[in-house]
């Protein structure tokens, strides 16, 4: 229920439920991880890492805790993220390894990893993400936009997915589509301001008035959440 709430812009309710769960069972690994998941959406990345690492201390090999990779990655802690790939060495772990290599401008390594992702998951979401990044590296915007049309679900409700769609559109220099999706992400509950602010894909429109307004909106909710609950 807490996961459903955080993915449908009821972040504060998700937090209250999860804290109640911890009061009932302080040593429940799933609850600690759920708390970290909420903190990531709210941009409290240090707190998210602590909660997720606590979950892994209780249950070290739970593959359902693989999104700690995304948490470390959104905090810019790439080596720590890569150290958790063992939780899912398949499409998810390989895909994040490729994204990290891409962000670090290790393009040849990224290309090798994205090709490996396609071998594992050619028709799935990670396969499409890999195809998109290969198109970006090839300078083929048309191919990239065609891949995005296969990837984007207009009925998506998970705000973090909306953020990633915005990021991918930005890589293709599709400014309006990127900003539309980014604003939708923030309005739908992904107010991870530190992650959005540091996203290099958004650098090329960092002086755009609409982007600045969206970023400010994310910061306001992030700051309000911290003041109210931390």
Q: Please report the pLDDT score of residue 157 as a whole number.
A: 84
pLDDT digit string (tens) for the chain, length 230 residues:
898 899 889 999 999 999 999 999 999 999 999 999 999 999 999 999 999 999 999 999 999 999 999 999 999 999 999 999 999 999 999 999 999 999 999 999 999 999 999 999 988 999 999 999 999 999 999 999 999 999 997 678 899 999 999 999 999 999 999 999 999 999 999 999 999 999 999 999 999 999 999 999 999 999 999 999 99
- Please compute, for residue 148, the number of CA atoms within 13 A of its CA located in the half-sphere on the CB side: 25
191: burial class by Cβ within 10 Å (0-12, 13-18, 19+)? Answer: buried
d(CA 113, CA 49): 26
**Dihedral sign from CA coordinates of 208, 214, 220, 223:** negative
Q: Please give the DSSP secondary-structure letter assigned to residue 152.
A: -
Q: Please report the pLDDT score of residue 23 as a whole number.
A: 96
Around Cβ 141, how many Cβ atoms within 10 Å?
14
Q: Cα angle at 189 between 185 and 191, to 5 degrees?
A: 80
Nearest CA among 58, 50, 85 for reference residue 70: 85
3-class SS of residue 104: coil
d(CA 43, CA 160): 11
| The two structure tokens encoding residue 88 | 């899912």
Q: What is the enclosing helix (H) or strand (E) of 182?
A: helix 175-187
Q: Please report the pLDDT score of residue 153 as a whole number.
A: 76
């Amino acid at each position: 229920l807490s996961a459903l709430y955080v993915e449908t812009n009821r972040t504060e309710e998700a937090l209250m439920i999860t804290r109640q769960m911890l009061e009932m069972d302080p040593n429940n690994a799933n609850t600690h991880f759920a708390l970290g998941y909420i903190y990531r959406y709210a941009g409290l990345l240090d707190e998210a890492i602590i909660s997720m690492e606590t979950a892994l201390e209780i249950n070290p090999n739970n593959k359902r805790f693989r999104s700690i990779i995304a948490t470390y990655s959104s905090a810019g802690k790439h080596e720590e993220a890569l150290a958790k790939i063992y939780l899912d060495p398949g499409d998810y772990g390989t895909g994040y390894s490729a994204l990290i290599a891409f962000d670090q401008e290790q393009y040849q390594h990224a290309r090798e990893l994205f090709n490996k992702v396609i071998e594992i998951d050619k028709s799935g979401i990670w396969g499409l993400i890999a195809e998109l990044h290969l198109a970006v590296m090839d300078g083929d915007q048309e191919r990239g936009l065609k891949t995005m049309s296969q990837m984007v679900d207009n009925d998506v409700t998970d705000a973090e997915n909306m953020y990633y769609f915005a990021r991918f559109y930005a890589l293709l220099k599709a400014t309006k589509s990127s900003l539309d999706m980014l604003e939708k992400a923030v309005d739908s509950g992904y107010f991870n301001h530190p992650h959005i602010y540091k996203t290099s894909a958004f650098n090329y429109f960092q002086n755009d008035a609409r982007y600045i307004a969206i970023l400010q909106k994310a910061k306001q909710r992030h700051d309000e959440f911290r003041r109210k609950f931390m």
